[in-house]
C-alpha cells in the first residue's frame, strides 16, 4: 500500500490513533464533521485576517479589531519586501523532491501558509501561522512550511518562523538557517516513519487514550466512550 500524500493535520491524526486516520482518510466511514465553537472561531479568524491583509481597504469585524496593529505590521512588511502572500496552498513532491502543484502526481506533502513574505535580496523570509487554540511548544507545522520555503526559494538562507497566538496576542518564534534543514525534518520524522509503516504493513492499529472519551469521531471503536461529565 503506497503512502498517501500527507498534511500536518493528517499526520497528527495518525499519531493520535492510526485507526482514526484510516476511518477518516482511507475508508471515509465518518459522518460530516460538526464544527465546534472553537473550530468555527478559528475559521473566522483565518478568513478575516486573510481578507484584511491581502485586500487593501478591507476592514476587520468589530470583534477582531484588537488584532489590527499586528496585522498592519504584516501588511507593512509585505509592502517593504514587495512579496507577501496569504493563505497560500503549497506542496512538496517526491521523486523528484521539490516544490510542486497542490495536486501533482508526485505530491508528497501539502500545507497552507497563513502569511509569508520573501526578501530575496537579503536572502531571508518570514512565515506566520495564526493559532486560535491553546499555546503549544510544537514547531513541526512551521518546520514543514520552512522546508517548502527553502525548496521554493533557493536564495533564502534564513527564515523567521512565528506562531501568533490570538488568545493572548503573543508571538513565539524560531529563526532557522538553510543549514538546519535536517533539524527541521527531525521534528516530524518519527511520526512520518510510523505513518509510512502503517501503509507498508496495511495495519492501522487502535491507540487507546484520553481522546477516546468523546473526542474521537470513530464511535464504532470498542475504545470509544462518551465524554466524561464534569461536575
- Whether 110 and 147 map to the same domain: the answer is yes
Residue 145 banded pLDDT, cuts 50, 70, 90:
very high
Query: Per the structure block, which three cell numbers stand in for 228?
Result: 466524561
Q: What is the dihedral of CA 76, 77, 79, 84, to 10 degrees?
A: -130
Residue 230 banded pLDDT, cuts 50, 70, 90:
low
- Whether 166 and 193 map to the same domain: the answer is no
Q: In Å, how far from its chain's centre is CA 77?
A: 22
Domain count across the chain = 2
Residues 95 and 106: their CA atoms lie apart, in Å, by 7
- Whether 15 and 59 map to the same domain: the answer is no
| Model pLDDT, residue 229 | 64
- Whether 124 and 199 map to the same domain: the answer is no
Query: Chain-wide mean pLDDT for the chain?
Result: 94
Tens of pLDDT, residues 153-192 = 999 999 999 999 999 999 999 999 999 999 999 999 999 9
Residue 39 banded pLDDT, cuts 50, 70, 90:
very high
| Model pLDDT, residue 1 | 86
Asked which of 26-35, 129-138, 201-210 is least confident by mean pLDDT, the reply is: 26-35
Strand order through the sheet with 107-119: 98-99, 84-93, 107-119, 124-131, 158-165, 170-177
- Whether 1 and 46 map to the same domain: the answer is no
**Is the pLDDT reported for residue 231 higher than 70?**
no
Query: Per the structure block, which three cell numbers stand in for 130?
Result: 495564526
Residue 57 banded pLDDT, cuts 50, 70, 90:
confident
- Whether 27 and 107 map to the same domain: the answer is no
For residue 209, give the 3-state DSSP assignment.
coil
**Is the pLDDT reported for residue 133 higher than 70?**
yes
Tens of pLDDT, residues 106-129 = 999 999 999 999 998 999 999 999
What pTM does this model have? 0.92
Domain of residue 112 covers 35-187
DSSP code of residue 160: E
- Whether 139 and 82 map to the same domain: the answer is yes
Handedness of CA 21, 24, 28, 30 (dihedral sign): positive
Residue 71 banded pLDDT, cuts 50, 70, 90:
very high
Amino acid at each position: 500500500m503506497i503512502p498517501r500524500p500527507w498534511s500536518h493535520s493528517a499526520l497528527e491524526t495518525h499519531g493520535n490513533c492510526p485507526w482514526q486516520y484510516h476511518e477518516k482518510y482511507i475508508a471515509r466511514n465518518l459522518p460530516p464533521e460538526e464544527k465546534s465553537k472553537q473550530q468555527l472561531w478559528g475559521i473566522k479568524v483565518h478568513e478575516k485576517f486573510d481578507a484584511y491583509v491581502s485586500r487593501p481597504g478591507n476592514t476587520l469585524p468589530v470583534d477582531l479589531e484588537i488584532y489590527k496593529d499586528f496585522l498592519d505590521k504584516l501588511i507593512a512588511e509585505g509592502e517593504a519586501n514587495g512579496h507577501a502572500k496569504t493563505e497560500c496552498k503549497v506542496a512538496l513532491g517526491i521523486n523528484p523532491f521539490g516544490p510542486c502543484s497542490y495536486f501533482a502526481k508526485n505530491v508528497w506533502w501539502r500545507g497552507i501558509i497563513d502569511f509569508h513574505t520573501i526578501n530575496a535580496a537579503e536572502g531571508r523570509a518570514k512565515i506566520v501561522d495564526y493559532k486560535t487554540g491553546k499555546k503549544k511548544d510544537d514547531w513541526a507545522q512551521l518546520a514543514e512550511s520552512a522546508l517548502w520555503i527553502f525548496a521554493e526559494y533557493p536564495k533564502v538562507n534564513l527564515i523567521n518562523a512565528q506562531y501568533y497566538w490570538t488568545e493572548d496576542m503573543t508571538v513565539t518564534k524560531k529563526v532557522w538557517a538553510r543549514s538546519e534543514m535536517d533539524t527541521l525534518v527531525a521534528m516530524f520524522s518519527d511520526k512520518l516513519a510510523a505513518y509510512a509503516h502503517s501503509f507498508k504493513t496495511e495495519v492501522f492499529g487502535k491507540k487507546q487514550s484520553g481522546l477516546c472519551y468523546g473526542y474521537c469521531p470513530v464511535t464504532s471503536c470498542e475504545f470509544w466512550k462518551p465524554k466524561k461529565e464534569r461536575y
